[in-house]
């Protein structure tokens, strides 16, 4: 308030040492006073009420001994005060003096008091010679305490320093001017209009802080979905919107039987190679599948059947029972299709396939009548992890996610598959698709799916598809007129394309930056 009032009257404070702090009689010349003033200046500066410049000076402060002298007088003055006036009492012996003023004061004070001519000897004792004294040490120290310096000059200051009564230190003083928000009121401006202010009427006299429209908002601290999860969610929604049910895909470990044999993949197929597939060393063998189904599958491989000549190669139980990390989610589809065909095999169905089968008419667990062959159509999908023993590079990892859709109904055609995929990919924002004949051991015909990539300006492969072979479906027990088509794609590829990521390691693995994920547009949109 003193600072503001002084500025109001004089517009500038040239030297802050000339201010008077409330409750003090002297101007605020000491180091401590300037520290107090600096605190006030900084708080006013933060509200733009003032501006100030600081100036450095060398100043002095009292030591503990110096401060004691200011309180009680110098050693020599205390010695002088303890003695009787010459001729007015019995002289005090040096031993008695020590008792009166203490060892230290007696020792230091005697010499200086003698030198000043304040005291003298009488017999063995000491007496006062001067009736009054000027305690210069004390007044000098008082001056240093309040001004930080001495008018008497450097010689006396040096002497006091030598006597360890004062120490030199750096001091500051300030020149102060009005700031852009200068006002004589130190009341902090209000930041908000409150109910209390409205009811009491205080709002009328309050000053309000201006809105800062340039202030940055506080960063929000929400969780962040990884781009892969984000795209997975999008694709899952497309499937759900198209009436698909999600398959359970929690078993990463499958047997050679479910990953390959059930799909009519020949036991000598290169995909089964150690180079392509991770096998488990412990346990080595899977539990055997249901024996009759197993027999039908091994027979169609070895000798053919269902209109097929088979592979006519010896069947290996060992190959079939090997445990491995699934190389495609089609292994899960095989499990589900086998379950879906249970009713066709005349088995009682509880839950599972029935739950995942599409359409209201599929719920009954028993065949309805003699003409009912038990088949119920189904649209199934899954999005989960698969594993391949690949050489890792910028676009390949040993594990990735597969998106897979499977549709089972009577008399489906290749046109149904193509039509389905056009709709599915267009829902993913991919309008231009092309199909190319391909080979898959478990589908015939098979189609590779290509999409036009406008950024790369070329067609890129986005998936693989086909009509599952009768050699796979009929051993499961499906009636002959049931067709199943399916397609698969990786989750990583469309995610990388979508978010302009060109190295898969920035998307998956230990190099993924959490901050990068949080700031990625995938999280925001
Ligand atoms: N399993 C195939 C793959 O891994 C994808 C696919 C699924 C193909 C279903 C046809 C039918 O590429």
Complex ipTM more than 0.90, yes or no: yes
Q: Which residue has the tokens 């300037």?
A: 34
Give the pLDDT confidence score for residue 522 in this predicted structure: 65
31 compared with 312, residue with greater pLDDT: 312
Q: Give the β-pairing of 253-255 and 245-246.
A: unpaired
pLDDT tier for residue 363 given thresholds of 50, 70 and 90? very low
Atom of ligand 1 at shortest range from CA of 485:
11
Q: Nearest C-alpha to atom 10 of ligand 1 is from which residue?
A: 465
Count of other CB atoms within 10 angstroms of residue 111: 12
The tokens for 298 are: 């091994």
Q: Which residues on neighbouring strands pair with residue 483, listed in sequence order? A: 409
How far is 522 from 213, CA to CA, in rounded Å?
A: 28
How far is 116 from 105, CA to CA, in rounded Å?
A: 16
pLDDT tens digits, residue range 164-199? 999 988 888 999 999 998 988 877 778 889 999 999
What is the CA(487)–ligand 1 centre distance, in A? Answer: 5
**Does residue 350 have a pLDDT over 70?**
no
Atom of ligand 1 at shortest range from CA of 329:
1
Calculate mean pLDDT across residues 350-362.
Answer: 47
Calculate mean pLDDT across residues 102-116.
Answer: 90
The beta strand positions in 338-442, using DSSP E, are 378-387, 399-410, 433-440
pLDDT tens digits, residue range 264-273? 999 998 888 8
Ligand 1 pocket test: pick from 401, 488, 490 the residue with the most ligand atoms within 8 Å of its Cβ. 488
pLDDT tier for residue 283 given thresholds of 50, 70 and 90? very high
Give the pLDDT confidence score for residue 226 in this predicted structure: 85
Count of other CB atoms within 10 angstroms of residue 103: 10
Give the pLDDT confidence score for residue 175 in this predicted structure: 95
Q: Is 110 helix (H, G, I), strand (E, B) or coil?
A: helix
Decide: 110 in ligand 1 pocket, CB within 6 A.
no
The tokens for 404 are: 């897979």
CB hemisphere CA count around 118 (13 angstroms): 23
Decide: 486 in ligand 1 pocket, CB within 6 A.
yes
Give the pLDDT confidence score for residue 342 in this predicted structure: 93
Atom of ligand 1 at shortest range from CA of 488:
5
What is the CA(466)–ligand 1 centre distance, in A? Answer: 8
**Does residue 406 have a pLDDT over 50?**
yes
- Please classify residue 172 by burial: count the beta carbons closer than 10 Å to its beta carbon, then call 0-12 exposed, 13-18 middle and 19+ buried: middle
The tokens for 110 are: 């005697």
Decide: 464 in ligand 1 pocket, CB within 6 A.
yes
Decide: 487 in ligand 1 pocket, CB within 6 A.
yes
Give the pLDDT confidence score for residue 524 in this predicted structure: 67
Q: Give the least confident one: 62-66, 167-171, 296-300.
A: 167-171
pTM attached to this predicted model? 0.60
DSSP assignments along 276-296, one per residue: T-PBPSSS-BPPP--HHHHHH
Q: Is 107 helix (H, G, I), strand (E, B) or coil?
A: helix
How far is 342 from 358, CA to CA, in rounded Å?
A: 15
Judged by phi (left if over 0) then psi (alpha if -120 to 50, else beta), residue 24 lies in beta
Give the pLDDT confidence score for residue 281 in this predicted structure: 94
Give the pLDDT confidence score for residue 356 in this predicted structure: 52
**Does residue 507 have a pLDDT over 60?**
yes
pLDDT tens digits, residue range 329-348? 999 999 999 999 999 999 87
500 close to 524: Cβ distance less than 8 angstroms: no
Backbone angles phi, psi at 222, to 5 degrees: -95, 170
What is the CA(17)–ligand 1 centre distance, in A? Answer: 87
pLDDT tier for residue 296 given thresholds of 50, 70 and 90? very high
How far is 325 from 320, CA to CA, in rounded Å?
A: 14
Give the pLDDT confidence score for residue 523 in this predicted structure: 67
Q: What percentage of the chain exceeds 90 in pLDDT?
A: 57
Atom of ligand 1 at shortest range from CA of 405:
9
Calculate mean pLDDT across residues 27-32.
Answer: 82
The tokens for 47 are: 């509200």
Per the prediction, the chain carries an average pLDDT of: 89
Atom of ligand 1 at shortest range from CA of 402:
4
pLDDT tier for residue 274 given thresholds of 50, 70 and 90? confident
90: enclosing H helix or E strand: none
Decide: 332 in ligand 1 pocket, CB within 6 A.
no
């Amino acid at each position: 308030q003193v600072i503001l009032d002084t500025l109001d009257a004089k517009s500038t404070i040239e030297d802050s040492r000339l201010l008077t702090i409330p409750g003090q009689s002297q101007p605020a010349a000491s180091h401590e006073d300037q520290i107090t003033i600096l605190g006030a200046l900084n708080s006013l500066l933060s509200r733009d009420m003032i501006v100030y410049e600081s100036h450095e000076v060398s100043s002095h402060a009292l030591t503990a001994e110096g401060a004691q002298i200011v309180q009680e007088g110098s050693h020599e003055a205390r010695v002088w005060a303890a003695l009787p006036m010459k001729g007015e009492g019995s002289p005090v012996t040096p031993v008695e003096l020590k008792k009166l003023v203490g060892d230290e004061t007696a020792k230091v004070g005697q010499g200086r008091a003698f030198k000043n001519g304040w005291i003298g000897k009488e017999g063995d004792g000491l007496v006062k010679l001067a009736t009054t004294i000027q305690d210069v040490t004390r007044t000098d120290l008082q001056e240093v305490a309040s001004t930080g310096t001495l008018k008497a000059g450097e010689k006396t200051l040096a002497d006091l320093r030598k006597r360890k009564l004062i120490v030199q230190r750096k001091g500051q003083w300030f020149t102060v001017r009005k700031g852009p928000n200068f006002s004589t009121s130190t009341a902090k401006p209000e930041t908000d209009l409150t109910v209390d202010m409205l009811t009491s009427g205080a709002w009328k006299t309050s000053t309000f802080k201006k809105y800062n429209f340039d202030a940055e908002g506080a960063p929000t601290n929400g969780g962040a979905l990884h781009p892969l999860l984000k795209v997975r969610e999008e694709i899952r929604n497309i499937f759900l919107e198209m009436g698909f049910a999600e398959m359970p895909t929690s078993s990463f470990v499958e047997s050679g039987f479910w990953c390959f044999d059930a799909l009519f993949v020949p036991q000598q197929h290169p995909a089964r190679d150690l180079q392509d597939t991770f096998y488990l060393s412990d346990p080595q063998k899977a539990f055997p599948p249901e024996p009759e189904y197993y027999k039908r599958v091994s027979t169609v491989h070895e000798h053919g059947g269902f209109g097929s000549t088979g592979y006519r190669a010896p069947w290996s139980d060992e190959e079939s029972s090997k445990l491995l990390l699934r190389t495609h989610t089609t292994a899960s589809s095989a499990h589900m299709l086998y379950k879906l065909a249970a009713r066709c095999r005349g088995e009682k169905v509880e839950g599972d396939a029935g739950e995942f089968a599409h359409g209201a008419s599929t719920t009954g667990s028993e065949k309805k009548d003699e003409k009912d062959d038990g088949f119920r159509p189904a649209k199934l999908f899954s999005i989960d992890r698969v594993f391949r023993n690949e050489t890792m590079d910028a676009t390949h990892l040993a594990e990735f996610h597969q998106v897979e859709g499977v549709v089972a109904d009577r008399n489906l055609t290749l046109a149904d598959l193509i039509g389905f995929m056009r709709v599915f990919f267009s829902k993913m924002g991919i309008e231009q698709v092309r199909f190319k004949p391909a080979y898959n051991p478990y589908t015939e015909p098979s189609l590779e799916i290509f999409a036009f990539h406008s950024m790369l300006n070329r067609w890129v492969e986005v998936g693989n598809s086909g009509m599952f072979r009768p050699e796979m479906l009929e051993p499961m027990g499906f009636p002959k007129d049931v067709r199943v088509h399916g397609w698969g794609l990786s989750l990583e590829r469309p995610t990388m394309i979508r978010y302009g990521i060109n190295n898969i390691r920035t998307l998956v693995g230990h190099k993924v930056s959490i901050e990068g994920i949080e700031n990625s547009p995938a999280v925001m949109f």
